[in-house]
Structures are given as C-alpha cells and as structure tokens.
A = this chain, B = another copy of it.
Amino acid sequence: MTHGSFGSAAGVTGFERRIARRLLEKRGDPRLRIVLWNGEEIRSSDQPPVGRIVFRDRGVVPYLARHPDLGLGDAYASGRLEIEGDLTAVLKVFLAAPDGRGAMKHLRDAWRMWARRSHSLSRAKSNIHSHYDLGNDFYALWLDEQMAYTCAYFPTPSSSLEEAQVAKMEHVSRKVWLRPGDRVVEAGCGWGALALHMARHHGVYVTAYNISKEQIEYARQRARREGLSERVEFREDDYRNIAGRYDAFVSVGMLEHVGDENYPELGRVIDRCLLPHGRGLIHSIGRNVRQPMDPWIERHIFPGSYSPKLEEMVGILSPNELTVIDVENLRMHYAKTLEHWLERFEKNAAAIEARFGSVFTRTFRLYLAGSIASFFVGNLQLWQVVFQRARSNDLPWNRSRLYVPGS
C-alpha cells in the first residue's frame, strides 16, 4: 500500500469497479452505494440509498483489501473514505447485513469488535489515541453531568440523559435491594456517581475500587464536596484486591475490561467478599456469539477488552454457588444513551477537533455512531445480571418493587 496514492486522479479500471461492486454485494443490502474517486456511483438497485460510502482515492480499494481488520475505520478516520448521509443510519444498515464471507467478513468482524469496545476508559486514554491526553475535561464535554460512562436507563425514550443516568443508579440500587446500613462494594466505579448515589439515597456504606488514578481523585473530591467521605471510600486498587465482606456487590461496566481469562478469579473474588445473605449485580456489554478478539484492534484500540456471552456471565457465578435471580437486557437503552453522547459530542466537535485534531475526532465519532448501530441492530447486548448466594432466601418476593415504589 502506498500512501502516495492518496488523492490520486480520475480513471477507474474495470477491475476496481468489480471489486467495489463486490464489496457492495457482500453487504447484501441495496440501500448502500459506493462512490468512486471519479464520481462514479456503484449501486445494486435503484432504491433510494440510506447513504453513500465515498472512496476519495483509488488507493482505498487495495488498502481495504490489505487491511481487512481495520481498513474501513482507519480510512474513515483519515478522511480517505467519507460517509454521506446520516452516519449512524448507514452503520445500522452496514452492521445489520448478514455475515459476509472472506475479506468482508473480516471487515465486518473488525467493525463489530471495534464498536463493542466502548468502555475501556483508562485504556482508551492510552490506546485509542495515545498522543492525546483526553482527561476528565474531554469526557465532561459529552457525558452527563455526573460523568457516568455506562448505559443509562431511560424512564421514557424522551427522558434526558441526566434523568436516565440517575434512573439507572436507582434501578441498580433497587435490584440489589439496598437497605440502610448495608455495606456495599463496587468493582470499577468510574467517576464515582453510583457509589455516591447509593450512599446518599439508600443510607449504605460503599467501598469503591478503580485502578484509574484520575477518576479516583475526581470521585474523592466529589465525595468531600458533597459531605459523603464518611460513607464512601474510594480505593485506587484492582478488583482482585477487594478486601472485607459486604451485603452487596455491584459492578457496572467493568466486566468488559476484566478479560474472560480472569472470569474464574472474578467469581472467586465475589464469593470471598459476599456475606451469606448478600446480593450482587454485574452490568456488562455482551454478545450472543463468542468471537475471538481481532489482533489489530486488541493491540491498537481497546486492548484486553471482551464482551461476553450471557452464558459466560452466568458462568462467573454458578461455580461459586451464586444463583442468578434476574437478568435484564437494556440494549435499546444503550443505543439511546449513545445517541445522547454523540449529540453532545457533535455540539462540541469543533472544540474537540481544534484540540485533538481531525483524525481523533473522526475516530471517536465513528466509534460512537458504530456503537449506537451495534446496539440498535442487536449485535451488542447490555445485560444486568442480579444474583445472590444459593442458600440465601433473603430476596424480594417478586420484582414489582423495581416498578412500584413501596411495593
């Protein structure tokens, strides 16, 4: 591949045309079109297109062929490939298409792998774009005011992101049946919003773990500011070092970064720290199918991240005599959450581009839009799994208390 081909001129060979048409046909959807560098449009039907994928130079074709794992995203990020029309809408069509074969299969897997690695905060900072210091300020530009970087729970589809993040924290709190005085451990606490919510609204004591120094510092400051330092302890430490025993275990958006080779250890950690009557909740992005991590993405985008099957999430628990009592799939809530993030991101796109540059901005945009699409078309799931000790009968009679306060 020669980058010298960038911006190369007009002529399209019959071979190039065939390759482009083949890429389109492999998508199996007539609502996409490809526009070549000379303006020529490749289409498989006269149906009005959802959008058009524009190859700005002829080098894109061999580039995609040579880099099936990330070529498409990379070409988009660099601007050699443009998407005309609503980016998210195009990605929904692209990602919902039936599995292709060969190179296109790889391409699509790569996109899906990429899109699913949306929560690796600390790693994102060092890997998505390692020469930028993203920092808290960056996330504050497009997350909610409490900086929750996980799927929200929208009371209605038109609720605000702020309302939905609070509703999520409340939903989680009710699912683990918090009672005043309970001791709660949180594995992977982000900027601390959930830990502080539980302490403030449910009168519990929280020990919250996170290996991100910057997030922990932010969370501690907030706890001091809000007078909750006595009730919430933020520990800069790995979940594997969780000490003590607790009435409840919660982990929201950490499992994606644990790595499936560590699931048995996570199960033992939960087993070790949960009191006999204890309840727990694991909230994670998931998938219906197990797919191996693409090596390129593993190395360059979100190293060590993995979205488990529900079977794998349950498999963390069952060997340790922990019983699943409730599972809820919130994937449409994650699509909605990401729509809010992307909307806020776009409002600040000029500032972000000025600070981080075009390639980073386009990369991040594609990641957010691709994630919306992945949840929307059902390639990604968001499961909240509630569990308790197998021998414990300290559980609510039914789930109505999640929906009818006081029931």
* Chain A residues close to B by CB (< 8 Å): 96, 153-154, 156-157, 288-289, 309-311, 314-315, 317-319, 321-329, 331-332, 376-379, 381, 383, 389-393, 395, 397-400, 402-404, 407
B residues near A325, Cβ cutoff 8 Å = 328-329
Are B393 and A332 interface neighbours, CB within 8 A?
Answer: yes
Q: Of the candidates B288, B323, B377, B379, which one forms a contact with A378 in the assembled complex, judged by CB atoms under 8 Å apart?
A: B323
Q: Which single residue of chain B is at the shortest CB-CB distance from A387? A: B329
B residues near A321, Cβ cutoff 8 Å = 288
Are A399 and B323 interface neighbours, CB within 8 A?
Answer: no
Distance between A280 CB and nearest chain B CB, rounded to angstroms: 14
Q: Of the candidates B326, B331, B332, B393, which one forms a contact with A376 in the assembled complex, judged by CB atoms under 8 Å apart?
A: B393
Are B378 and A390 interface neighbours, CB within 8 A?
Answer: yes
B residues near A402, Cβ cutoff 8 Å = 399, 403
Are A397 and B329 interface neighbours, CB within 8 A?
Answer: no
B residues near A309, Cβ cutoff 8 Å = 314, 318
B residues near A326, Cβ cutoff 8 Å = 327-329
A319 to B311, CA, bound (A): 11
Are B289 and A318 interface neighbours, CB within 8 A?
Answer: yes
A323 to B310, CA, bound (A): 9
A317 to B403, CA, bound (A): 28
B residues near A390, Cβ cutoff 8 Å = 288, 378-379
B residues near A389, Cβ cutoff 8 Å = 378
Most buried by B among A288, A309, A328, A393: A288
Given A288-B318, A397-B154, A403-B400: A381 in contact with B329 (beta carbons within 8 A): no
Given A288-B318, A310-B324, A391-B378: A157 in contact with B399 (beta carbons within 8 A): no
Are B377 and A391 interface neighbours, CB within 8 A?
Answer: yes
Are B378 and A392 interface neighbours, CB within 8 A?
Answer: yes
Ordered nearest first, which 8 A-B pairs have the shortest CB separation? A327-B327, A403-B403, A378-B390, A325-B329, A311-B311, A400-B403, A288-B318, A310-B314
Q: A154-B397, A378-B389 are in contact. List 16 more A-B contacts (CB 8 A).
A: A288-B323, A288-B390, A289-B318, A289-B319, A309-B318, A314-B314, A324-B329, A324-B381, A324-B383, A332-B395, A332-B397, A377-B391, A378-B391, A378-B393, A403-B403, A403-B404
Q: Which single residue of chain B is at the shortest CB-CB distance from A171? A: B398
B residues near A403, Cβ cutoff 8 Å = 399-400, 402-404, 407
A390 to B318, CA, bound (A): 25
Q: Which single residue of chain B is at the shortest CB-CB distance from A404? A: B403
**What are 16 A-B contacts defined by CB distance under 8 Å?**
A156-B397, A288-B322, A288-B323, A309-B314, A310-B318, A311-B318, A323-B329, A324-B327, A324-B381, A324-B383, A327-B327, A377-B391, A378-B390, A378-B393, A402-B403, A404-B404
B residues near A393, Cβ cutoff 8 Å = 332, 376, 378
Distance between A125 CB and nearest chain B CB, rounded to angstroms: 32
B residues near A400, Cβ cutoff 8 Å = 403
A319 to B317, CA, bound (A): 22
A321 to B157, CA, bound (A): 26
Q: Which single residue of chain B is at the shortest CB-CB distance from A385? A: B327
Q: Which single residue of chain B is at the shortest CB-CB distance from A312? A: B311
Distance between A122 CB and nearest chain B CB, rounded to angstroms: 30
A328 to B398, CA, bound (A): 9
B residues near A392, Cβ cutoff 8 Å = 378
Are A323 and B381 interface neighbours, CB within 8 A?
Answer: yes
A153 to B400, CA, bound (A): 13
